[in-house]
Amino acid sequence: MKTRGKLKLTIYLLGFAGAALFTILLIRQGATSVGTAVATAGWAVVGIAAFHFIPIFLDATAWYVLFPKTLRPRLQSLFWMRWIGESISNLIPSAAVGGDIVRARLATITGTPMAAAAASVIVDVTLGVVTQIEFTLLGLVLLVHATGRSSLVGPTLIGAVLGVLAIAGFYVAQRLGMFRFVSVIITRLVKSKEWSSLVQSGETLDQTVRDFYTRRRGVLACCIWTIVSLIGSSGEIFIALYALGLHATFSNAVILQSMAMTVKSAAFPVPGQLGVQESGYLVIGNLLGIPGETAFAISLLARFRDLLVGIPALVLWQVVEGRRLLRAESVASE
């Protein structure tokens, strides 16, 4: 079986396992009880979806400050690119990383130099992982303070250490010139003169990535805006808790959001993190005294939010790509 076929099979198997886990959890919590809880929230899902544009804007700002002023795209352009990229990652199976690739492409086709667009996304993703680890640790501290339970401290700290080591290795590889190295390997395997320019492109990207990291103010500003976005996104959980008739506190919202994000990140190979996301909400919700059916309902509200926010973004993406294709055909026909 070819590598591509094996990859597809793996994705299908993970998707099936996630769907099975989702179904089992739904049956255990009671489909009727979960449905009643979701119905209790009513139109709050619209408010949650509307609120979600605030974190998207903050994430776009974090991306914006990374660029040198001479290359910096308009903030409103980066906003819709970020919106599209996140929606692709959330709604299209096997595209957990694809959304970042698409936003780099969108930045390129709207006038940003290819190396700068790609480097900005690489640095943004790297710094995003670092700040998410910090957000996870913040949620862990709040969880222990709120519940007095430390059962998750060990596993979370181990995961955080592994995450730090992984991202540190990725950072070192970027600084050492990983893209030129990959380009050289590809060129040697292909053995074609037409691919020789790939090495030069890899060197350019490596240098551009290094240049982005040397802009320390930009790096620091990106981290600050990202952590503000992560904490601010907890407002969605606060709205959900309030709509479901629970005692809503921002502390509990931060705990649920940080831990849910951690579980989703760890389970990125599973399409849509189906079942895994619900497990995370159930475990953390149980520690906070939230009934199982209500915790499951919070996860479903998050999925409804992804649909309400993401589907228009996917339509916008197709419009942008369609217009570009029409312009290219028009130029070719002249």
Model pLDDT, residue 36: 74
Tell me what the mean pLDDT of segment 58-87 comes to: 95
**pLDDT (tens digit, 9 = 90+) per residue, 238-269?**
999 999 888 889 999 999 999 888 887 776 66
Nearest to 200 by CA among 189, 185, 184: 184
Rounded mean pLDDT of 88-104?
78
At residue 134, the pLDDT reads 93
Could you give the CA distance from residue 182 to residue 203 in angstroms, rounded to a whole number? 10
pLDDT of residue 2: 56
In the predicted model, is pLDDT for residue 331 greater than 90?
Answer: no
Q: What is the C-alpha separation between 69 and 72, in angstroms, rounded?
A: 5
Q: Count of residues for the chain?
A: 334
Overall average pLDDT of the 54-61 stretch: 97
pLDDT for 192 equals 47
- Which of these ranges, 77-81, 196-200, 313-317, has the smallest mean pLDDT? 196-200
Flag whether pLDDT at 212 surpasses 50.
Answer: yes
Q: With a cut of 90, say whether residue 146 has pLDDT above it.
A: no
Asked whether 246 and 312 are in contact (CB, 8 A), the reply is no
Q: Would you state the pLDDT for residue 49?
A: 94
pLDDT at 38 over 50: yes
Give residue 224's pLDDT.
97
Local confidence band at 202 (pLDDT 50, 70, 90 cut-offs):
confident
Give me 128's structure tokens. Answer: 């995003």
User: Residue 5 has what pLDDT?
Assistant: 60
Residue 73 Cα to chain centre, angstroms: 21
Query: Quick one: pLDDT band at residue 10, thresholds 50, 70, 90?
Result: low
Q: Which residue do the tokens 């320019």 mark? A: 197
Higher pLDDT, residue 176 or 62: 62
Q: Which range has highest mean pLDDT (15-29, 192-206, 251-265)? A: 251-265
For 305-324, the pLDDT digits (tens) are: 999 999 999 999 999 888 88
- Would you list the domain boundaries of the chain? 33-326
As a whole number of Å, the CA-based R_g of the chain is 21
**pLDDT higher than 50, residue 140:** yes
- pLDDT over 90 (residue 132): yes
Site of tokens 């480097």:
119
Closest by CA to 301, choosing from 39, 84, 56, is: 39
Per residue in 271-288, pLDDT (tens digit) is 667 777 888 888 888 888
Cα 313 from Cα 322, distance rounded (Å) = 14
Q: How confident is the model at residue 74 (pLDDT cuts 50, 70, 90)?
A: very high
Global pTM reads 0.86
pLDDT band at 18 (very low <50, low <70, confident <90, very high): low
Which comes out higher in pLDDT, residue 58 or 105?
58
Q: Quick one: tokens of 181?
A: 């190295």
**CB neighbours (10 Å) of residue 16?**
12
Structure tokens at 241: 């808790």
> For residue 190, what pLDDT band results from cuts at 50, 70 and 90?
very low
96/90 Cα distance (integer angstroms): 7
Average pLDDT over residues 3-28: 65
Helix residue ranges per DSSP H, 110-215: 114-147, 153-176, 178-190, 197-214
Q: Tally helices (H) and strands (E) across the chain.
A: 15, 0
CA distances from 62 to 2, 24, 164, 297, 314 (A): 40, 39, 20, 31, 22
